[in-house]
Structure 1
Amino acid sequence: MQFWSSRKCRCLAIFMVIYVFYNPTDSGAVDMNSENIDMTLASNELVFLNFYAEWCRFSNLLAPIFNEAADKVKEAFPEPGKVVLGRVDCDRETSIASRFHITKYPTLKVIRNGQLSKREYRGQRSAEAFLEFVKKQLEDPIKEFKTLKDLENLDSRKRIIIGYFDRRDMPEYDTFRKVATNLKEDCQFHVGFGDAAQAMHPPGHPIIVFRPDVALSHENDETYTGSLKNFDELKIWVQEKCVPLVREITFENAEELTEEGLPFLILFHKPDDTDAIKDYKAIIETQLLDEKQNINFLTADGQRFAHPLHHLGKSEDDLPLIAIDSFRHMYMFPKFQDMYQPGKLKQFLQDLYSGKLHREFHYGPDPSGNEVQTEVVMKGTSPPESSFKKLGPSKNRYTLLHKDEL
């Protein structure tokens, strides 16, 4: 009896040491290092990391704010395994900085269920904003529907993942929820249980269905056919469906897209011109799929992005139109309707890659022997400087470690 009591005490002591080590009670953000970071990431639903350098002015400005936010978060979510705000000194922990591909200070990254979010935190830098961000991240990412009729009212401009399950306490639903937590910024997630979902699947056989943004694309519904218990397999499938080849650029995501470093091929459209968006997406997906590693395919609300249009010498009355922003200059596709001619958009991209667009900008059109074609090209030989490069990471917000000239 004494042996088991002693063994129980030792186990409890070990547990307490581990708990205190990976869930510190000191005030401020938790110092992350090579000894504690992996366990911290694995044992918490959400980890919010501040990558900084002591010599960086912006890091020093952020430090007390992030520490204050850490205290507020601990007060709001005191239970273990929920959320940790951590900080990484990148000069000391160079291997961690390299692992997370840190290129500027301070960088704020989010890890959910041990999985790194592809989106950094780029919002307001205040303790209150950080707390609200954490609260938002910890909200249930899935909305429950009570009847199939509820699904008729979903937003047709959003990409949606729908799950049909017998009940919540299924391992398949646990996998579904974890995937939804990681990808809720890319898709809407909905779920039905029991009677609400039984018309869509036989008992004991839950299913997951992708519903595209039918108002903005020509895509069709698709059912997941892989393992519903395999997190990685389901996540890859959902990510492929939720992150489309053609994305919408907004002022909220422009910094993130610009930082990816790929030139933009942008359709500027009127807010209600869904036909142009659908056709543009369909042409990109059928003719330019092999170019996705070389360029970002985007759509942009021409009213919200009136400034780039102005630099192109265009206004809302000229929409829709297509342009390339190379982060040096902007080049306009001569005529929107030419998009429907097979190969025209691809040639436009090839002219960018070969330097033809840039060469004609400096020296005039290449000899073509065709007066009509030369005249069209000449209209595009004086493009303005890039508008979207200015929406990249600000010099007044970060210390940039690598500034590649694109």
Structure 2
Amino acid sequence: MSSFCDSFHLKFIICALIMVCVTPSYVNAGAVKLTKDNIEMTLASNELVFINFYAEWCHFSNMLGPVFDEAADKIMEAFPEANKVVMGKVDCDAESSVASRFHISKYPTLKIIRNGVPAKREYRGQRSTEAFVKFITKQLEDPIKEFHQLKDLSNLDDKKRMIIGYFDKKDVPEYQTFRRVAMNLKDDCQFHVGFGDSSQAMHPPGQPIIVFRPDKALSNDEDETYKGSLMNYDELNIWIQEKCVPLVREITFENAEELTEEGLPFLILFHNPDDMTSVKDFKDIVTTTLTDEKQNINFLTADGVKFAHPLHHLGKSISDLPLIAIDSFRHMYLFPNFQDIFTPGKLKEFLQDLYSGKLHREFHYGPETNNKLPQLDGQARHPTAPPESTFKKLAPSKTRYTLLKDEL
């Protein structure tokens, strides 16, 4: 009997060992736990890292955790190759230095790091396993579209800024540098490339070039060729970023939360979607006279049909377009006459009146005369209420980092 038991016991052990060897291990299932000891290597060695910054005591963090872990498992199955993608998580209480480095102040916060560089835009989409998998899959798509004939470039959208590369072949280090930059800035520009015969007429043999093509329908900017080294990632990244992120940007419902979070007041041109002339004029005036104000205010254009609600707050309608207003996140102030932008210094004066508080005082008490509040029939003018800010409502929630779509 004992020999049978011993034999049975030995077979059981062997069977158990075999099961351990062939059964997938779930010890490290879910998102990779990132700490100050492993985060540098993780960021440096992977094309894309998607991080959930959470706090154990946070209700929303606890709700998101299992969903994020499940998505991490699915991503690992879909993209098993090394150095491709990692979904990680950071316990911000245990790893305060890491949280501080990434300026985390709300939980959970979801950040994307491409090739070691944090993306400007954080993840603000739906928080479900399916949405995360779809997002990561989209992020890993090649950011550069290949054209096969030069005439294909004439069919590109002239309302988009784009970077075009002309190369002899793909397997050169210059193209790998170009692709890394494209991965980081694909949300800001379109990227296109031609190889061999499709682009040889545009560059000398063995000397690839990169060209910026502006949004010609919306600006008077001109094409420009990159003069630096295509082997220098930092130099190329800075140049392309300067071209792809203009001084005057368009505000949409998709990026309003992000722009609001930057904390700068908005100087907005509301225009009819078919009116490109006023957009070009506004951009030219801002670019030529207000570049020194870019640290103080966000210069934006807005589709006046889509953003009819702010117009209503200003007492205006689509028939009044184009018009310019400042949203200070407290109140909205209307620039009196759009045509006044062509009067030298007039738009800059409007900004200075915001900084000095004059716009606020005059909305409350009427026009100032000799630096004194005006009198009406011997009495001080009664305060009035300027329109409230409408864009402040698109700022991040105080209790949850990302707004839900139905809150926009």
Q: Same fold (TM over 0.5)?
A: yes
Aligned partner of 1:398 among 393, 397, 401: 401
Which deviates further from its counterpart, 216-225 or 99-108?
99-108
Alignment coverage as a number of residue pairs: 369
Secondary structure of the residue that 2:236 maps to in structure 1? helix
1:41 alignment partner in structure 2: 43
Q: Residues 122-161 of structure 1: CA distance to partner in whole angstroms, max 9, x if unpaired?
A: 1111111110100010000001111111111010000010
Contact preservation (8 Å) 1:360, 1:381:
no
- Compared CA separation, residues 25 and 79, structure 1 to 2 (3 A): farther
1:122 and 2:103 aligned = no
Distance 1:60 1:314 in 2: 45
Q: Percent identity?
A: 75
1:204 and 2:206 aligned = yes
Give the alignment's TM-score, normalised by structure 1.
0.88
Q: Residues 320-379 of structure 1: CA distance to partner in whole angstroms, max 9, x if unpaired?
A: 00000000000000111111111010000000001111122233321159xxxxxxxx9x
Distance 1:381 1:296 in 2: 27
Shift of 1:381: 6.6
2:16 alignment partner in structure 1: none
2:150 alignment partner in structure 1: 148
Distance 1:34 1:293 in 2: 32
Distance 1:250 1:368 in 2: 41
Q: Residues 243-269 of structure 1: CA distance to partner in whole angstroms, max 9, x if unpaired?
A: 000000000000000000000000000
2:377 alignment partner in structure 1: none
2:333 alignment partner in structure 1: 331
Contact preservation (8 Å) 2:124, 2:402:
no
Shift of 1:276: 0.6
Contact preservation (8 Å) 1:165, 1:207:
yes
Contact preservation (8 Å) 1:277, 1:299:
yes
Give the alignment's TM-score, normalised by structure 2.
0.88
Contact preservation (8 Å) 2:115, 2:180:
yes
Shift of 1:395: 3.2
Aligned partner of 1:290 among 284, 292, 314: 292
Matching residue's letter, 1:186? D
1:15 alignment partner in structure 2: none
Contact preservation (8 Å) 1:159, 1:187:
yes
Matching residue's letter, 2:50? F
Aligned partner of 2:90 among 88, 100, 107: 88
1:51 alignment partner in structure 2: 53
1:76 alignment partner in structure 2: 78
Matching residue's letter, 2:147? F
Secondary structure of the residue that 1:169 maps to in structure 2? coil
- Compared CA separation, residues 281 and 25, structure 1 to 2 (3 A): farther
1:240 alignment partner in structure 2: 242
Secondary structure of the residue that 1:105 maps to in structure 2? coil
1:385 alignment partner in structure 2: 388
Unaligned runs of 5+ in 2: 1-25, 372-380, 404-408
Aligned partner of 1:97 among 70, 91, 99: 99
Unaligned runs of 5+ in 1: 1-23, 370-377, 401-406
Secondary structure of the residue that 1:394 maps to in structure 2? coil
Secondary structure of the residue that 1:267 maps to in structure 2? strand
